[in-house]
Structure 1
Amino acid sequence: MTPPPHASSHSRTYELFAHWSVISYRYGGWVLLIALLVAAGCGIYVSRHLGMNTDTTDMLSEHLPFRVNMKHYNKTFPQDVDTMLAVLEAPTPEQAQIATKRLVTRLKQDTLNFHDIYPPKVDDFFSRNALLYESIPELERITDRLAAAQPLIAHIARDPSLQALAAVISGAVEELRKGRTMELRPVLAGVSATVDARLAGSPRELSWQTLFQGEPQKRKYQELIVIKPRLDYSQLFPAEQSISALRAAARETGVTDDSPVRLRITGEVALADDELNSSLRGMEFAGVLTFVLVGVVLYFAMRTGGLILNVLVCLTMGLILTAAFATAVVGHLNLISIAFAVLYIGLGADFAIHFLLRYREVLEGRALPAEAMRMSGGDAGAALTACTITNAIGFYAFIPTDYKGVAELGIISGTGMIISLLVTLTIGPALLRFLPKRFPTKSVNGKSPVGKVLELSLRWHKLTYAVTLAASIAALAMLPQVRFDYNLLNMQDQNGEAIKTFRELLSEPDHSPWHAFTLAKDRNEAAHLAQRLAELPEVNKVVTLLDFVPKDQDEKLMLIEEMALTMGPITLSTGKRVAGEHISAQQRKALNELAASLDQLIADHPHHPAAEAARALRVSLGKLFAQLDAANPAERNNLLRSVEEDLLATLPTALENLRAATNAAPFGEQDLPESLSQRWRSQSGEYRLAIYPAEDLNDNEALRRFVHAVQRVAPNATGAPMVSLEAGEAVVQAFIQAFLLALAGIIVALLIVLRSFKYALLVLIPLLLSSLFTAAFTVLLGVPFNFANIIALPLLLGLGIDSSLHMVHRSLNNELVSEVLIHTSTARAIFYSALTALVDFASLMLSSHQGTASMGILLTVGLTFTLICTLVILPVLLRAPTRSIGAGNSEEARSRS
């Protein structure tokens, strides 16, 4: 293969870096001393001035339409920006309400950590007007039920004790047995479940509120508190102090790990905190594992500790200088540019490995150290300069895009490649000055294990062509199935508290925190817009401030007045209970009488609607009697007292809520509490509309349908669904734009460097093939592109160009045919540098952060295909058709190299 008449075009670059390397080598001591001082200064500068911007909204240009809409909404309703949700869970609604009130009172006192505290449902206004929000049929049912239960409630209120409760239920069961119509099943089931829970060692209180409403008691009840914390973006974790203060306040108000009430924290701020935490843990783990595995790979590549140390020192110095550049020019890292360290290890090691293996190859040819330094510095410098140019173009292509997060990564990483080139050819030669000057001579045939394996593709070149063609056709057929996952939740650690809690809230369509918002300029527009949006099949419901003013208030108030008259004045006795053997005997006697009444009901009316609940309670009482009979007097007294507390503890709260609800009065929009109205009507008079989806937005197509349907009616709508979809589309557009810019820039650079369209195409073919195969494998592996792993593309672009350019450059400038090229230090350097990057990226797959893990998968797959396309397919394309492996002239060419 005759090289084109451009080989001399590299002479200036060759001479520049040859001379540069020799000077660094000659004055190695001074170079290392200066480097040490510079590294120390840069390290101090970075530690004091490099910030961390964790605000994900700054990742994309503020001029994008969805960001403009979001900015206007946030300005109109600032209390909804950067909030977190405290979710309190309890076995009964009474416990949840009490705990919420206590925690809200405590949090409002902490103005140092919180701007605003708002419990949406736990408020005196809603307690007083709760019944007005019920439908008329439901209100009639509650009224009838309370009227029937009034004598029982009054009896228990006068004597809130276990024996009184047992006696009341016994009397009610007797009435059932005599034929009276009475809905007793919820009471029987509730008492049975409460007794069973105590006996099983997992006690839970009986909810009298659910009994009054005639509803079965659920496993848990939730109350939400919307919290606007004070965030400090100068810290790595802006919400860390506020979250810690929230947990401390919960402990102070009795919400502990041992209490029946449980606190879980989620919402926008908590999700961002968890994501950053899991992402950093993944990066830290990957960094430690990478350095270990890189050391192992470098041992097999270099075989000497000195050269391994050289690579690691060059990497460390390059990282420090690049971090200093990032500090000076950008000033901070973001959640994407923080990955530059991992990217740098992958690309920076490539530079050092190529230079050092070329140096070792020349020394193995028995050249003197000074001459070897000149030759390796010149050869590696010329090749690495070309790679640096193409790499920098690939990264800098992201600067003009709307994806600011990756644009900052492009600035840092693109310049990092230039820094890596200078560090490699400055620090590398200086270190070699103090390392052994001789290495074991190469074997007679000069064939490395890597080269022997690569010979197979040349020997079976027709099969290589056929397999490549078939794989390319198959990959092209799969391209339409490549997709982008717009769901930001899928990127996070799925075992984190914030994400698990958030997904549970999403499972309740009526209260899902993942909904859209839009604004109306006045009351009339809000009513009209809400009606139009509610008619959409993609919309479940629309909520406005108008919905907080109940309809048919006059009719409902008449029913409430009737309820109040029926209930009468019920006063709960607050006398102190006295424990003792005589009280336990009374309790046991009452429970025995209740068991007897249940037995009679079951015997006389086995098919009665309440018979099943009666049997369950009778079984529970049987278990209770068995434990009481086996216990000593003290244990018996404690067990009965605990059962009594479980059954009657929530009665005071339930009666107070009922008493408050019967004092409802008519009200209008102007009477709504300010804490509520200011969240739905702005100071300028704009009304907020919350639009809830009818479908599960975890499905990308459902998300797209919902967003587009809402935007047709309300073009300025915003919220998490809009942000997820439109941010994803903006990211995809940014990467398409950047890829096209990078490709165009790289083609121009290759034509200038190589001065041959043919050889520029040979450099590009492995890159295009590996990109095609990687895209196809995202479909096969079920790993779609997302906001995190898509940043793997510029790195794969850089590594792909590097590898193929090294091969083509070495082939042309040293007049090597493929059969010789695969046995040179260039092929070995490509293999080991790719292997170094592979262990670097594969470690990311172990991260708990799903976005980081998917990035590791994509990088590992992409780099594997880059290696195959460069070392297997490209040599076949470069091979000389008239030469065969083992020919004598190949040995002659090898000896010249």
Structure 2
Amino acid sequence: MDRSFRIASQGMTTPTKASPSRTYEIFARWSTISYRHGAWVLLAALLVAVACGIYVSRNLGMNTDTTDMLSEHLPFRVNMKHYNETFPQDIDTMLLVVEAPTPEQARTTAQRLTERLKTDTTNFHDIYAPTAEDFFVRNGLLYESIPELAQITDRIAAAQPLIAHIARDPTLPAFADVLMRAVDEMNKGRSMELRPVMGGVSATLDARIEGSSRALSWQSLFNDEAQKNKYKQIIVVKPKLDFSQLLPAEQSTTALHAAARDVGITEGGPIRLHITGEAALAGEELKSSLSGMEIAGIITFVMVGMVLYFAMRTGGLIINVLVCLTMGLLLTAAFATAAVGHLNVISIAFAVLYIGLGADFAIHFLLRYREVLEGGPPPDEAIRVSGGDAGAALTACTITNAIGFYAFIPTDFSGVAELGIISGTGMIISLLVTLTIGPALLRCLPQPKFKESMPKSSVGKVLELSLKWHRVTYAATVAAALAALVILPQVRFDYNLLNMQDPTGDAVQAFRELIAEAEDSPWHSIALVKERKEAEDLAPRLAKLPEVSKVITIQDFVPPEQEEKLLLIEEMALTMGPIAISPRPEPPPGDIAARQRHALNALAAALDRFIKAHPDHSATETARKLKSSLASLFTRLDIASKDEQGKLLNSVEDDLLVTLPTALQSLRLATEAAPFGEDDLPVELINRWHSPTTGEYRVAIYPAEDLNDNDALRRFVRSVQQVAPNATGAPMVSLEAGEAVVKAFVQAFLLALVGIIIILLILLRSLKYTILVLLPLLLSSLFTASFTVLLGVPFNFANIIALPLLLGLGIDSSLHMVHRSLNNEMVSEVLIHTSTARAIFYSALTALVDFASLMFSSHQGTASMGIMLTVGLTFTLVCTLAILPVLLRTPAQGVRA
């Protein structure tokens, strides 16, 4: 060990020649008293901890209503509040997506589920299934255009004999026989469109052969359209939410799953239920976020323990850090209970922030104590010196941190304002706990003897490189800063709340599908007008906007040209006649499976004849697919036992004919359509478009672009607002809330920066050293912001919360270095080997492993927060320990804070 370092290290253990400050003397005496009366201090602390724990558990609430986290005076909040009061049934809703292989199954299941849920008034306020209502089934044909309705009438007329034959004998042999005859007629040259039915039968057979069920949709056949893979019905549910619970919709969600089982929706079955919408997304987000926190907590516990071991090297000091953290958390939680009364989904992060910054306080005090003790003084003298030194430095850090957090109080982001109140006060609590409980524990816990001389730490040896190559350090810093400034304009904020959630969550996936596929997308804007005439004037002006795909008002639910359409529907009713599905006849004596197999063989032969005779026909390819499906079925039957053959053929029969009764009933009901006006619409529908309380009309505006793109979202919102300034809805809320959050953080950062500069000027009494404290913070902020662009991780509603912590740690780290340099008149070559440098390194490393584990969370907001904190803390560490010592290369004049 070189001699100069040993001499300098001995000088670090006692106060400098400069007279101690008042802050130094206060905390020197405070820590000494705590040390001397350690047992009584710990007993009092234990009693206070128990009292705080009981008080918090009984009184601290949880408010998970995210709408309360922004000021209600913001224009978009005012508009949304007015809309919620006008149409209260639309707020905090769930969307139930009933998904089935056929439209018949989707509708009948949605009807049964709706009826079941309406009986549960304990868990639900309102149930509304718009497209499953009999009104739209009865009048559905009136919403078709006249040419489309004429085509449907012609198809029904052509298929009437076939439908009547199957309806009289709804069995597999009868169905196969009808289809065989139709193929033979087409083979003879008759013009028939059999591709939809052959394609549907082929897909149904393939699914059954693979072991699943895919019923044939007769409704699709009547409409002469290819059967899709799945059909959806939407049910709008307004659950009863309990915001005093962590998951407000949990009880309602449990009731939904129970109701689904009651109507036959089972896991793995052909009919599925997806629960999404505002309330479901909020619950799923909180679950995935908490799940990520649990995983992160386990990893962090192990990693922090390892870091503390390398920092402290003794079990007693590690226990000291953990006890101080626990006590500080309890006291801060008690303050939150008394001052605010509840936590929100943002202020709950106070615990994470406290661990990151509170550990910093304890580590600095304990490593300073160890450093002083290594110089040979008795423990009480070491406590006095370390308490005074650490107290003075930590007081400055506490003031700057508190200002940083309290700067959020006057912003419009009340969710973060509450976090600022709690965390800012938590810093003051951390200071007092560290210098009260810490010395008391040092008195009561056994401490090993430390060596009188201390070798250079590995941290210091690494940091020597930046001093040795200080010119390279200057050049690299300037180059990196210039590069970051070039990238900085590309920093962006992601306004899409869906992008923060777990992409594998059922609610998120279902919602994204609705946005992409559903005609009535839940992501649209809404304008409210007082008069019907105003709605009629506003709709066309909005529809002309290039960013708008369509605009819907209540008038759109009254179809035009009803008289002409009713004439075609009457013709359809006469063509159909009194077709009714007959019950399945009792099978005649003999081998049922043999008759079913014979009918299918005959169908396969007819297909073969058609394919050979008409290889270039438009229906030939579909016929080949059906023939191939039949061949696969025959192969499966040939290797099956007799019982298995019967079960398989009966399943095929069910798959092909199960929806026929429902389709015929719906078709028959549709022929009973009658003319109607707006007053004849269902009351539930009218109340969602014409408010019964205020008389206002709702105008729905749908985007032409994918609003997952932030630029498209901004274009849509701004263009709509030019025509309808008071428009609201999810797109407006997402964009305006995001801009309000960004504005709040910019405002808070500027306030904090001004306050911190003033405090630093008062404490340091030097513009030069104030700049030196701020420079690492500004550099690390610049580098972090630029890296969000390089990593493709934009700021969002979750990771922006990392900024207060990075601000606090950045100020703490650089202030500790400058404060130690000033008060001990220490050159950088010595400073980097002090307990201050080691404390900064291990404090940052503790926080780093605490937050790096968040990157592995399934919740994308939490994961992005972990990335932001990891990158930010890394740059803070580099700027403080590698760049700042280069700037502090000349010894400072003694100025005690």
Range class of TM-score, shorter chain = over 0.9
How well do the aligned residues superpose, as a CA RMSD in angstroms?
1.7
Q: Which of these residues, 275, 279, 286, is aligned with residue 289 of structure 2?
A: 279
**How far apart, CA to CA, are the structure 2 residues paired with 1:807 and 1:577?**
94
Deviation sequence 1:236-263 (CA, Å, 0-9, x none): 1000000000001000111011421001
How far apart, in 2, do the equivalents of 1:124 and 1:386 lie?
Answer: 72
Q: Please, which of 436, 447, 453 is the counterpart of residue 426 of structure 1?
A: 436
Shift of the alpha carbon at 1:881? 8.4
Deviating more after overlay: 373-382 vs 814-823: 814-823
- Partner of 2:502: helix, strand, or coil? coil
Checking the alignment, whether the CA contact within 8 Å between 1:129 and 1:661 is kept in structure 2 is: yes
Q: Please say if 1:875 is aligned against 2:873.
A: no
1:711 — aligned with what? 721
Match of 2:458 among 449, 459, 470: 449
Q: Is 1:461 matched with 2:470?
A: yes
Query: What residue in structure 1 maps to residue 614 of structure 2?
Result: 605
DSSP 3-state at the match of 1:32: helix
- Determine if contact 2:826/2:891 at 8 Å carries over to the other structure: no
Aligned to 2:237, the other structure's residue is in SS state strand
Counterpart residue number, 1:327: 337
For 1:887, the equivalent position in structure 2 comes to none
1:534-587, Cα deviation, whole Å (9 max, x unpaired): 000000111111110001111111110111111111021124543864333322
- Alignment partner, residue 233 of structure 2: 223
Structure-to-structure mapping, 1:323-362, within 5 angstroms: 323-362=333-372
Separation (CA, whole Å) in 2 of partners of 1:627 and 1:359:
81
CA apart distance, 1:10: 5.7
Q: Secondary structure, in 3 states, of the residue corresponding to 2:549? A: strand
Question: Is 1:77 aligned to 2:87, yes or no?
Answer: yes
Cα distance 1:602–1:387, how it changes in 2: closer, same or farther (>3 A)?
same
State how far apart, in whole Å, the 2-side matches of 1:380 and 1:664 are: 85
Q: Which secondary structure does the structure 2 equivalent of 1:664 belong to?
A: coil
Match of 2:794 in 1: 784
Q: Does 1:262 align with 2:276?
A: no
For residue 409 of structure 1, the aligned residue among 404, 408, 419 is 419
Measured after TM superposition, the shift of residue 442 of structure 1 is 4.9
- The 8 Å contact of residues 363 and 438 in structure 1, kept in 2 or not, is answered as no
* Structure 2 residue aligned with 1:723: 733
User: Given that residues 194 and 647 in structure 1 are in contact (C-alpha distance below 8 angstroms), is that contact kept between their aligned partners in structure 2?
Assistant: yes
- Aligned match of 2:212: 202
Q: Do the aligned residues in 2 keep the contact of 1:509 with 1:692 (CA within 8 Å)?
A: no
Task: Say whether residues 1:566 and 2:606 are aligned partners.
Answer: no
Q: 1:629 to 1:778 in 2, by over 3 A?
A: closer
Matched with 1:526 is 535
Matched, 1:141 2:151: yes
Q: Cα deviations across residues 372-420 of structure 1 (Å, max 9, x unaligned)? A: 1100111100000000000000000000000111111100100000000
After TM superposition, the structure 1 = structure 2 runs for residues 42-53 of structure 1, keeping only pairs within 5 Å, are 42-53=52-63
Q: Is the 8 A contact 2:827 2:891 kept in 1?
A: no
Matched with 2:651 is 642
* Deviation (angstroms), 1:589: 2.5
CA distance in 2, matches of 1:533, 1:164: 54
Following superposition of structure 1 onto structure 2, how do residues 485-884 of structure 1 map, counting pairs within 5 Å? 485-508=494-517, 510-578=519-587, 581-683=590-692, 684-880=694-890
* Offset at residue 643 of structure 1 (A): 1.1
Distance 1:575 1:288 in 2: 62
In 1, are the aligned partners of 2:374 and 2:453 still within 8 Å (CA)?
no
**Structure 1 residue 334 displacement after superposition:** 0.8
Which residue does 2:490 correspond to in 1?
Answer: 481
Q: Which moved more, 1:845-854 or 1:703-712?
A: 845-854
Structure-to-structure mapping, 1:15-54, within 5 angstroms: 15-54=25-64
Give yes or no for contact 2:198–2:623 (8 Å, CA) kept in 1.
Answer: yes
Distance across 1 between alignment mates of 2:811 and 2:892: 28
Q: Which amino acid aligns with 1:440?
A: F
**Separation in structure 1 between the aligned mates of residue 534 and residue 435 of structure 2, nearest angstrom:** 68
**1:876 Cα offset (Å):** 0.8
Shift, 1:9, TM fit: 8.0
Asked if 1 retains the 8 angstrom alpha-carbon contact of 2:26 and 2:388, the reply is yes
Note the C-alpha offset of 1:706: 0.1
Q: 1:86 aligns with which of 96, 107, 119?
A: 96
- TM-superposed deviation, 1:200: 1.8
Residue identity opposite 1:678 in structure 2? N
Is 1:97 matched with 2:100?
no
SS, match of residue 700 in structure 2: strand
Within 1, Cα distance between the matches of 2:637 and 2:448?
88
Alpha-carbon deviation of 1:438?
A: 4.7
Helix, strand or coil for the counterpart of 1:510? Answer: coil
For residues 610 and 839 of structure 1, what CA distance do their matches in structure 2 show? 65
3-state secondary structure, aligned to 1:542: strand
Which residue of the partner structure matches residue 213 of structure 1? 223
Residue pair 2:220, 2:227 contacting (<8 A) in 1 also:
yes
State the alpha-carbon separation in 2 of the partners of residues 785 and 58 from structure 1: 21
Q: 1:673-725, CA deviations, whole angstroms, 9 ceiling, x for partnerless residues?
A: 00111111101221111111000111110000000000000000001100110
Do the aligned partners of 1:369 and 1:437 also contact (CA within 8 Å) in 2? no
Amino acid at match of 2:870: T
| Per-residue Cα deviation, 1:839-889 (whole angstroms, up to 9, x for no partner) | 111111111111111111111111111111111111111112899xxxxxx
Aligned residue pairs total 879
Unaligned runs of 5+ in 2: 1-7, 9-15
In 2, are the aligned partners of 1:186 and 1:214 still within 8 Å (CA)?
Answer: yes
Partner of 1:886: none
Look up the match of 1:382: 392
Q: How many angstroms apart in 1 are the aligned matches of 2:651 and 2:517?
A: 34
Residue 170 of structure 1 deviates from its aligned partner by 1.5
1:287/1:342 contact within 8 Å kept: no
Q: Contact 1:360/1:439 (CA < 8 Å) preserved in 2?
A: no
Q: Distance in 1 between matches of 2:359 and 2:780?
A: 21
CA–CA separation in structure 2 for the residues paired with 1:588 and 1:768: 80
Q: Distance in 1 between matches of 2:508 and 2:840?
A: 41
Q: What one-letter code is carried by the residue in structure 1 that aligns with 2:552?
A: V
TM-score by length of 1: 0.96
Equivalent of 2:255, from 237, 241, 245? 245
Is contact 2:92–2:278 with CA below 8 Å preserved after alignment? yes
For the Cα contact (< 8 Å) 1:510–1:692, is it kept in 2?
no
Counterpart CA distance in 2 for 1:20 and 1:474 is 48
Matched, 1:112 2:119: no
Residue type matched to 2:416 in 1? V
Structure 1, 611-620 or 146-155: larger mean CA deviation: 611-620
Q: Percent identity?
A: 74
Give the whole-Å Cα distance in 1 for the aligned partners of 2:273 and 2:24: 66
Q: Which residue of 1 aligns with 2:185?
A: 175
What are structure 1's unaligned runs of at least 5 residues? 884-892
**Please, which moves more after superposition, 270-279 or 593-602?**
593-602
Q: 2:380 aligns with which of 345, 353, 370?
A: 370
Secondary structure, in 3 states, of the residue corresponding to 1:172?
helix
User: Contact (CA 8 Å) 1:163, 1:591: kept in 2 or not?
Assistant: yes
SS at match of 1:784: coil
- Are the counterparts in 1 of residues 760 and 770 from structure 2 also a CA contact under 8 Å? yes
Partner secondary structure for residue 433 of structure 1:
helix
Using the TM superposition, name which of 609-618 and 666-675 deviates more. Answer: 609-618
Q: Following the alignment from structure 2 to structure 1, what is the Cα–Cα distance between the partners of residues 449 and 542?
A: 77
